[in-house]
A and B are shown apart, each in its own frame.
Chain A
Amino acid sequence: MTWDINLAIAGGLLIGASAVFLLWFNGRIAGVCGITNGIMDKEVKDKGWRIFFLFGLLMGPVIYLALSSKPMPALPDTSLWLVGASGFMVGAGTRLANGCTSGHGVCGLSRFSIRSLVSVVIFMLTGGISVFIVRHGFGG
Chain B
Amino acid sequence: MAKNMIALLSGALFGLGLTVAGMTDPVKVQNFLDILGNWDPALMFVLGSAVVATTLGYRWILGKEAPLLDDQFFMPIQRVVDWRLISGSAIFGIGWGLYGFCPGPALANLSLGRYDAFVFCALMMSGSMLARQFDLRFSLYMRSRELRIRVQTSAH
List A residues at the B interface (Cβ < 8 Å). Answer: 4-5, 7-30, 32-33, 36-37, 40-41, 48-50, 52-65, 72-73, 75-76, 78, 80, 82-98, 100-102, 104-111, 113-115, 118-120, 122-136
Minimum CB distance partner of A19 in chain B:
B54
B61 CB to closest chain A CB (Å) equals: 5
Q: A11 to chain B: which residues have CB within 8 Å?
A: 16-23, 46, 49
How far apart are B77's CB and chain A's nearest CB, in angstroms?
Answer: 11
Tell me the smallest distance from the CB of A93 to a CB of chain B, in Å.
Answer: 3
Given the contacts A90-B103, A100-B104, A122-B93, A52 and B11 also touching, CB distance less than 8 Å: yes
Question: Could you say which residues of chain A place their CB within 8 Å of the CB of B2?
Answer: 25
Q: Across the interface, which residues of B come within 8 angstroms of A36, CB to CB?
A: 103, 107, 125, 128
Chain A, Cβ-Cβ closest to B14: A18
Complex Cα gap A131–B97 (Å): 5
Where the two chains meet, the residues of B that have a C-beta atom closer than 8 Å to any C-beta of A are 2-28, 30, 33-37, 40-43, 45-55, 57-58, 61-62, 66-70, 72-76, 78-81, 84-104, 106-112, 114-116, 119-132, 135
Closest-by-CB residue of A relative to B64 is: A24
**Contact of B53 with A16 in the complex, beta carbons under 8 Å:** yes
Check if B93 sits within 8 Å of A123, measured CB to CB.
Answer: yes
Query: A123 with B96: in contact, given A30-B10, A37-B128, A88-B127 (CB under 8 Å)?
Result: yes
Tell me whether A24 and B97 are in contact in the complex, defined as CB-CB below 8 angstroms, given that A98-B76, A110-B51 are known contacts: no
> Among the interface residues B33, B54, B88, which one has the most CB atoms of the partner chain A within 10 A?
B54
Within the complex, the shortest CB–CB distance from A65 to chain B, in Å, comes to 8
Which residue in chain B gives the minimum CB-CB distance to A50?
B7
Contacts A14-B13, A84-B119, A136-B36 given; indicate if A95 touches B67 (C-beta within 8 A). Answer: no
| With known contacts A19-B50, A76-B26, A96-B85, A86–B21 Cβ distance under 8 A | no
A73–B32 alpha-carbon span in the complex (Å): 16
Q: CB-nearest residue of chain B relative to A39? A: B125
How many angstroms from the CA of A58 to the CA of B103 in the assembled complex? 12
Cβ contact of A52, chosen from B8, B45, B102, B103, cutoff 8 A: B8
Contacts A11-B20, A57-B15, A84-B123 given; 6 further ones with Cβ under 8 A? A8-B45, A19-B54, A59-B11, A87-B101, A105-B47, A111-B62
A12 touches B17 (CB 8 A): yes
Cα separation A60 to B12 with both chains bound (whole Å)? 5
B24 x A73 contact (CB < 8 A): yes
